Amino acid sequence: MAAIIIGIRARDVRSQPSRRQDMTKINFGSGPYPIAGWINVDLDSAGRPEVVADLGRALPFASGVADFIHTEDFIAQLDPLPLLEFLRECRRILKPDGAMRVLTPDLERFARTYLENPDHLVWIWKTFIGVPLETGTACEVLNLGMRLAGRFQYDFTSFSRLAAEAGFATVRVGYNESRFEALRGLDLRRTDEAVSMYLECTPTA
């Protein structure tokens, strides 16, 4: 599931157990960054997930079983219709009072950074990605980022519309911030290290 993304850095906080172990917390697309105390799910067994599964299919969990869901840098692997099905499956397995945290590259922010702060975009690439650049320009970063980051890059509007169709209300949140304790301190990248958006989805009535 892992892909080259715009700014990625492993953080020690993800290896720290959660204070509460009685909740069912599922991390989809864990790749090489599993979260201690969570059920990590990935297609690639190399990262030693608790569950090996194809997330493009029905999720191998019972309905209403999950208190919290987390997914970082996975949804860009899905075109809009497959993403809608994945979100519907997440809604199915999530408890009515649960929440899902989603981190993914933000196409709008990526484009704005290219136009308004190209030097910073090149700095992010050279510092956190490391794929060699032939021209050293933001133009090359934009092209490589779109090519290597996944199948489809979302902005807030496109994601939130699909999430609404799947039965979620979506809000933007800050880096490592959440009104849910279980969803705090999980993010891999600070806002200045990436062009990500930090989102939380809760079931609608």
Q: What local confidence, expressed as pLDDT, does residue 35 receive? A: 95
115 lies in a domain? yes
Please indicate, yes or no, if residue 81 is contained in any of the structural domains. yes
Model confidence pLDDT, tens digit, residues 50-89: 999 999 999 999 999 999 999 999 999 999 999 999 999 9
Residue 2 domain-assigned (yes or no): no
Q: In what order do the strands lie in the sheet with 39-42?
A: 51-52, 39-42, 25-28, 66-72, 94-105, 196-203, 168-172
- Decide if 6 is inside a domain: no
Residue 183 clears pLDDT 60, i.e. is over it: yes
Residue 153 confidence class, pLDDT cut points 50, 70, 90: very high
Asked if residue 157 belongs to a domain, the reply is yes
Q: What is the extent of the structural domain holding 80? A: 12-203
Per-residue pLDDT tens over the stretch 78-98: 999 999 999 999 999 999 999
CATH assignment at residue 116: 3.40.50.150
Q: What is the mean pLDDT of residues 2-21?
A: 40
The domain total for the chain is: 1
β partners of residue 52: 42
Question: Which H or E element spans position 41?
Answer: strand 39-42
Q: Is residue 56 a contact partner of residue 86, using CB atoms and an 8 Å limit? A: yes
Answer whether residue 173 is part of any domain: yes
First to last CA, the chain: 32
Average pLDDT, the chain: 90
Any domain includes 178: yes
Considering only the C-alpha atoms of the chain, give the largest distance between any 2 of them, rounded to a whole number of Å: 52
Is 80 a member of any domain? yes
